[in-house]
Each structure stands twice: as C-alpha cells, then as structure tokens.
Chains A and B, each alone.
Chain A
Amino acid sequence: MSTVDAAEHGAADHGHATNLGMSNEKLGMWTFIGSECLFFGAMIATYLLYLNRTNGGLTAFDVFDIPFTSASTFILLMSSLGMVLALDALHKRDMRGFQTWTLATAVMGMVFLAGQKYEFAFFVEEGFKLETSPFSVSFFMLTGFHGIHVTVGVVMLVILWALSLRGGITADKHTETVELVGLYWHFVDIVWIVIFTVIYLIPVG
C-alpha cells in the first residue's frame, strides 16, 4: 500500500474559492457557536426562573464559595491567553512554543475541571444534590454541561499537542485547525463569564 501526501486539495471547498472568502470549516464553526448560544441560553433562562425555588434546602448564599470559584474562573480565563499564544507561536513557526502553550492551555482547562469536580463533591456532601430542588438541579445542569464543553475542548487540545509531538501539526497546513479549536475554546470561556456572573455574582451582589 503506497504512502500518500497530504490530501490538501481543499476537498471540502472542492478547490474553489468560497463565496464569503471564509473556509467552510470556519463558517461551520461560527454557525455551530450560534446554535450553542441558544443551548446555554435555555439553561440560563431555566436557572434564573428557579433561582429562588430551593424547597427549603440550601440557597445560593449558603453553598457558593466565591473566592474559590473566582480562582478557578481566573485560571479558565487565562487559558484563553494560552490559546492565543499557542496560535501565535504556530504563526511564527515556533513549534516548541506551540507545544508548550497548547499543553498549558489544556492543563489550565483540567485545573478548572478539577475545581468543578471538587465543588460538586463538596455540594453533594452538604446535601445539595440533583433531587434537592429546582434550583439545585438547574445549577448542576448548567455548570455540568459547561464542564462537558470544557472537557471536549481539553480533549481536542491534547490531541493537537500529541499530534504536534510527532510532527503531525505544521504551520503551513494546520493553522486553521488550531484557529478552529481556539474559536471553540474562547467561546466556552466567554460562556463561563456569563455563567459566573449569573450564578455567582448576581445572587450575592
């Protein structure tokens, strides 16, 4: 079986310039992100509706630890900076820098996830569970689905990192791939800014 070169014939674009001058992949990612806004929007709306329906259980004032979550939020937001630096390193053909920053971004994502896992376990121990109240289940669903999105992002970053170790990522061919992962990653971070504001800051402020 013969070896092949990269099939970089722009197969998805069929070798033609696209109408918008933006690749199909990037336009598709933006379209998908548009859809995600409604996905999180529906959960945020539910959360706001159920904010005060605590069934006599723990309320927002009882459970949330603002300093702890602020710290993990800061780490997640810094991971966006890591993503920018990774892409920048790729633009400069600095593969070492790319590997470093990609891995750093993934690790920051993992730290955030670990913080969320700790927070969830702590809440459950306190008696704040899925079945406690409409408020509790809305909280777990909103932050949990965000956590799943972060997990998917971490997996993509780790794959990028692993591929780049064996030379599978090059500045000539994969800048856009990295850009797409970056788009997704920044979106997940931006959603967290909204969620953090809605969940942790509004009830307290």
Chain B
Amino acid sequence: MTGTVLSSGHGPDDPQQRDPDEPRGGTGTARFVARKVGGALTSLVLVVLLGFLLFRMIPGDPVATMTRDRPTSPEQLAQLRERMGLDKPMFQQLLDYLAGLLRGDLGTSYVFNRPVATMIGERVWPTILLVGTATVLAVLLGLWLGVRAAWRRNSMFDRAHTGLALTFWSTPQFWLGMMLLIATQGVFPSGGMRSPDAPSGFFAASLDVAHHLVLPCVTLLVVVYAQYMLVMRSSLLEEMHSEYLTTARAKGLRDDLVRRRHAVPNALLPTMTLIFLQFGMVVSGTVTVEKVFSWPGLGLLTYDALWGPDLPLLQGVFVILTGSVVLMNLLAELLYRVLDPRVRAS
C-alpha cells in the first residue's frame, strides 16, 4: 500500500519535487553508498569484537555452571575445558573465533553440543514470521491511525487514539501477553508454534501455525504500533503547515485527496526509516514475547544461551541480532536516499 502512495507522491503539483531528469550524481551516489557500507562494515567488526569480549566479562565459569548439580572429577573438568577451548589463552580464543567466523562457523554450543549456526538457522524463521507479521500489521495500523489522528488533530479520535497508543507503548509486554492468554480463555494455544499433533498438509499446517501466531503477534503489535502512529502523526502535522497543501486545496481538491495524494507521501519518509530501524530492534526485543508464548525463535534461544551461560551460542546470537540491526540501518539509509530526492540532492 505504501508503495503506490509513494510513487504517486511526486506529482506535478509537489513543490518539493525536483526535475526528474536531474542526473543522479553517479560518483556522488557511489561515494555515498561506499561510505555507508564502509560504516556498516566497521560497525560489524566492532560488534564481533564486542560480542567476544562482552561475554567473557559476565560472571560464571561455563564449565562450573555446566557441571553444577553433578559430581565431576578434575579430569572431566579439564577435558571439558579442552573441548571448549577454554584452556587456551584469551587471544588465541579470539583468533579461533574470528577464523571460524570467516568460514561461517559460529562455533559449537557448550550445552547442546550442536553447531551454533545450525541452532540459529532453525530459529530464524519463527522469529521472522512473528516479527514480520507483527511489523507489517503494526505499520499498517500505526500509519493509518497516525494519518487520521493528525488530520483531525485535537479531535476525540486523535486524543483517544494517541492516549491509547501511549498506554500500550508503556505496557510491559510480559504482563500484556499473560493477560491476553488468560483473557482469551483457551481460544488460542498457550504456547509453541505448532500443535503437538499438527494436522498434515500444507494448508492445515499453515492454519495451525497461524492459530499459534495470533496471541504473540497481537502482543507484539499492540506494543509497537504506537511509535509508527506517533511518528506518522507528528510528521504529518509538520507537513500540514506547508504551502503546497494550501495550493492543493485552492485548486479545489477534496480534503481526503489532499491528504492521501499530497500530505501523506511526504510525511511518510521519517516513518520509513523507523520501520527499518525498528525491524532490527524488534527482532532482539522478541525475547519477552517468545518467552511468554514459548515461541521457538531467536528470542528464546537468547534466553537459553544466557541461562548457561553458553558462550558460543550467546556470541552467535549477539552477532546475528546486532548484525541485523546494522544491516537494517544501512538499508534504511540507502533507501532513504532513493525515496527522498532532497537527501539525494544534498
């Protein structure tokens, strides 16, 4: 939906619109892209190093934690240390870790003794499904409500929805999830992504997953839509003072047409960036929702990794999650340039 609105946004009566034949500034764009990609790569390297150092500072000896509650001989402890590479000096561990990372090897989980990359791979899709659905819905709902609220600023609609959005925004996700679970009285499953006896067949199985998706998705949606709404509302309010809107109205265009074809497209830009940034953040923010609903995604994996602490797993999850934020950030910046001619010009 946003796509069509956007393309129609740069109409002839848009005073901000530049000449469409204006050269896109080949070298300028290349330099811009190179600078942004370079920045992202630097961030990624820092993330990797930080991921390594950070988790070596958290308290708890992994071997002692793993062997707690069961008698372990000194030989067994030494053996475990050797298997985990903990007997090596820190610098050597870092080198091994980096070398592995370059080969796409994120190491082997201490607790589960499985390749971290495999474990993350299994969990990425459930999280993308959950976060993706929630984000799409939150964006649609947030933008729609934001536009309405701004257009009828200070109306009952505006005040009620802004108030509601702010209330939801400040609601603890864990509490909200539990309340929804209890309030729906078993209409939706209490946990998991699939029924133990999931029906076979693609359609039925998908419906089963969709059924499990409802509550976690709603919990996530309710908390995150507010920011889309509020950003959309405020950026549209700014646009509403612009002269081009007066021009549009003066031409005799109907009110909702002025809003949809002229005001909204220009107000959308700040929201686009937010969507990308938030997508990265939401992935890491699913820990709570996934814990409430036992959704087998990256959030739960992070939780399990912390419990150990399972260093390779923690590192892997950290790198993947923060890496995705960096990547989304980069995409947002590049896309912003494509979408907003003003950025390109400057």
Does A associate with B in a complex? no
Which A positions have Cβ atoms within 8 angstroms of B?
none
